[in-house]
């Protein structure tokens, strides 16, 4: 199975890449290089550096897309522009990519509530 994981070097994305790459071909999308890209080594992983605020132009056709890009209140970059780029524009570009590749789309949306004390 071909699995596309966005936010692949983030907290959740890193775990997803590690687990899915054991038995699947993983296309791991990340925006900014960090140690996760260097640390997780597996012949099943293809690391793809791309800012998802831009159109996705890859030629592969994944069986599954797991979109784990998000800006949240405790992110390093959390301006209004970062929220729009990560939480709206990147999602739109992933959906556009799925439509262009004629994939069946199922979204599982997990929302966490962050409350300041």
pLDDT digits (tens, 9 = 90+) for 60-95: 999 999 998 877 666 677 788 888 888 889 999 999
DSSP one-letter code for 21: T
Listed range (19-23, 86-90, 113-117) with the worst mean pLDDT: 113-117
Arithmetic mean of pLDDT over the chain = 86
* Tokens representing residue 105 in the block: 């789309």
Confidence of residue 115 (pLDDT cuts 50, 70, 90): low
Identify the CA nearest to 18 among candidates 39, 34, 35, 2: 39
39 pLDDT exceeds 80?
Answer: yes
Write down the domain spans for the chain.
2-100
Tell which CATH architecture fits domain 2-100: 3-Layer(aba) Sandwich (3.40)
Under a CB-based contact definition with an 8 Å cutoff, are residues 37 and 20 in contact? no
Under a CB-based contact definition with an 8 Å cutoff, are residues 102 and 40 in contact? no
pTM: 0.85
* Tokens representing residue 33 in the block: 């290089």
């Amino acid at each position: 199975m071909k699995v596309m994981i966005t936010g692949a070097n983030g907290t959740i994305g890193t775990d997803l890449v590690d687990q899915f790459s054991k038995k699947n071909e993983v296309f791991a999308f990340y925006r900014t290089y960090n140690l996760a890209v260097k640390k997780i080594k597996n012949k099943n992983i293809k690391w793809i550096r791309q800012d998802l605020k831009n159109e996705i132009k890859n030629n592969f056709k994944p069986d599954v897309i797991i979109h784990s890009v998000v800006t949240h209140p405790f992110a390093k970059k959390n301006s209004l522009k970062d929220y729009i780029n990560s939480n709206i524009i990147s999602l739109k570009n992933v959906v556009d990519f799925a439509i262009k590749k004629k994939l069946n789309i199922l979204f599982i949306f997990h929302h966490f509530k962050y409350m300041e004390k």
